[in-house]
Amino acid sequence: MSWTKHQMAQEVLNLIPEGSSINLGIGYPTLVSEILPEDHDYIIHSENGVLGVGRRPLENEVSPTLINAGKETITTMPGASFFDSSLSFGMIRGGHIDFCILGGMQVDSEGSLANWMVPGKKLTGMGGAMDLVNGAKEVIIMMGHYSKSGESKLVKLCDLPLTGKSVVDKIVTDKGVFAINNGKFKIVKLAQNVDKSEFNGDLFEN
Amino acid sequence: MKSKVYENASEALHDIKSGCTIMSGGFGLCGIAENSINYLATCDLKDLTIISNNIGNSGRGLVKLLKKDMIKKAYCSYVGGNPDLEQRIFNKEIDVELVPQGTFSERIRAAGMGIRAFYTPTGHGTLVAEGKEVKEFDRPCILETALHADFAIIKAQKGDSFGNLWFKETARNFSPLMAMAAKTTIVEVEELVELGELQAEDIHLPGIFVQRIYQGEDYENAIEFKKTREE
């Protein structure tokens, strides 16, 4: 058994104290915003230039100029603000954002992340990810544990081009929660019915 | 004050020529200069260098210039959602420099602010750092240089004849930075207002950074991913 995407989002949220500022990346991390209670006390930042992202709009609230970094329509919370991209990345690079949640292709045991290209096959570009991993106080990666071909995305050393070197703090997969600790993946929590024996070897630590 | 008002896109963009470097505002399709882009797509231009976060998206915006092979070089941060661009990169039909988004916006801002270069931790230890000077501060940082342009084409919600601008919601993104970094900044607005109508303390970009402004028309204001909730 493993966690569903929504259960993964809940596990991510469990790692973040209320009142924190959070930047949510494209893909899986977007799900975190969808499970937030209506009266939550988190401050959601989106790097295209908004602090205080609210719920999805009602049909009659939709505005083409009010979107998140995934280009999806959003609303704002009371107290929200808009700004240009330089100020937005100043918030990130300047260490003013507490948590960033990003998707990943590979994370290695030294905490390096790869998530922006597979040479010759796939190119999304890094977008804001390289700034986020170097600027946010804590970096959490949310991704499936295994690739479509069944290979672990938690690896000894990334072989894909890096987004950042030694930047990841925690990883939430469909199998469990892991923390980077002295060159190993420390098992923080496992999904129901996932056995520790699946994560033997030098890379993992109980 | 001398009026900077032009009649339409073709008058305001009359001197854009092949080989120019053009900055184009917008995040995805949000806040793009629709009228200026549509006009450029009708011109006989080639070898353009385009500086824009996405170079259009979903077949729209600057993709119109891509499809007519007008773009020789592009600076952008994100290719996802733009299969026309991804294809041209893999086929080596375009020279693309991918720049981390925060570095991208700061290089543009630096150009407008007279800063020649700056050190940033972003990109250290990655392909982005290749060939760049590294200096150790509290941690290793790489040297990034200012990014200039001949023209900036941007859109604002409101503007006056001096070029003072007001942007709506998240449509601001890179546009005010690009306005500062280009030699000639051409703005299209949804609402061209009288001088004095914009409150001085509400102005997002002072008109000193704007050379030309015109009233745009027929805005599509496309939404890429409409997500709503039920009552």
Q: Could you state, in order of their start, the residue ranges of all structural domains in chain B?
A: 9-114+147-215
What pLDDT shows up at residue B58?
A: 85
Per-residue pLDDT, averaged over B112-131, amounts to 98
What pLDDT shows up at residue B11?
A: 97
Q: Which stretch of DSSP H or E encloses residue A76?
A: strand A76-82
CATH number of the domain that A55 lies in? 3.40.1080.10
- From B210's Cα to the closest Cα of chain A, the distance in A is 17
Mean pLDDT of chain A: 95
Give per-residue pLDDT as tens, B173-201: 999 999 999 999 999 999 999 999 999 99
Which member of B109, B123, B170 has the closest CB to residue A67?
Answer: B170
Cβ distance A73 to B227 less than 8 Å, yes or no, reads yes
Give per-residue pLDDT as tens, B8-36: 999 999 999 999 999 999 999 999 999 99
| Nearest residue on chain A to B139, alpha-carbon basis | A134
What pLDDT shows up at residue B167?
A: 98
Q: Which stretch of DSSP H or E encloses residue B213?
A: strand B212-215
Which class in CATH covers the domain with range B9-114+147-215?
Answer: alpha beta
Residue A29 clears pLDDT 90, i.e. is over it: yes
Cβ distance B125 to A120 less than 8 Å, yes or no, reads no
pLDDT > 70 fraction of chain B, expressed in percent and rounded: 99
Per-residue pLDDT, averaged over A176-194, amounts to 96
| Nearest residue on chain B to A163, alpha-carbon basis | B126
b/e for B177-193, b at 16 or more Cβ within 10 A? Answer: bbbbbbebbbbbbbebe
Tell me the chain A residues in contact with residue B77 when contact means C-beta distances shorter than 8 Å: 125-128
Which member of B86, B102, B125 has the closest CB to residue A92?
Answer: B102
Tell me the chain B residues in contact with residue A89 when contact means C-beta distances shorter than 8 Å: 101-102, 105-106
Give per-residue pLDDT as tens, B134-181: 999 999 999 999 999 999 999 999 999 999 999 999 999 999 999 999
| Nearest residue on chain A to B175, alpha-carbon basis | A84
For this structure, is A61 an active site residue?
no
- Best probe of the B interface among A126, A134, A137, A166, by most B CBs < 10 A, is A126
Nearest to B77 by CA among A51, A85, A114, A167: A85
Cβ distance B224 to A128 less than 8 Å, yes or no, reads no
Per-residue pLDDT, averaged over A115-140, amounts to 95
Instruction: Name the residue range of residue A23's domain.
Output: 5-205
What pLDDT shows up at residue B1?
A: 63
Interface of B with A in 187-206 (CB under 8 A): 204
Interface of B with A in 137-166 (CB under 8 A): 157
Burial of B53 (0-12, 13-18, 19+ CB in 10 A): buried
- What does the DSSP 8-state code read for residue B35? H
Which member of B109, B224, B226 has the closest CB to residue A86?
Answer: B109
Residue A200 clears pLDDT 90, i.e. is over it: no
Give the separation between CA A141 and CA A126, rounded to whole angstroms. 15
Cβ distance B57 to A125 less than 8 Å, yes or no, reads no
Residue A33 clears pLDDT 70, i.e. is over it: yes
SS3 category, A6:
helix
What pLDDT shows up at residue B93?
A: 94
Per-residue pLDDT, averaged over B127-132, amounts to 98
- From B189's Cα to the closest Cα of chain A, the distance in A is 14
SS3 category, A9:
helix
SS3 category, A60:
helix
Residue A144 clears pLDDT 80, i.e. is over it: yes
Per-residue pLDDT, averaged over B96-115, amounts to 98
Cβ distance B169 to A84 less than 8 Å, yes or no, reads no
What pLDDT shows up at residue B150?
A: 98
Q: Per the structure, how many domains does chain A have?
A: 1
Distances (CA, A) of B110 to A48, A152, B143, B186, B212: 19, 42, 13, 19, 22
Give per-residue pLDDT as tens, B45-90: 999 999 999 999 888 999 999 999 999 999 999 998 899 999 999 9
Which member of B101, B123, B221 has the closest CB to residue A47?
Answer: B101
- What does the DSSP 8-state code read for residue A20? -
Tell me the chain A residues in contact with residue B108 when contact means C-beta distances shorter than 8 Å: 86
- From A192's Cα to the closest Cα of chain B, the distance in A is 31
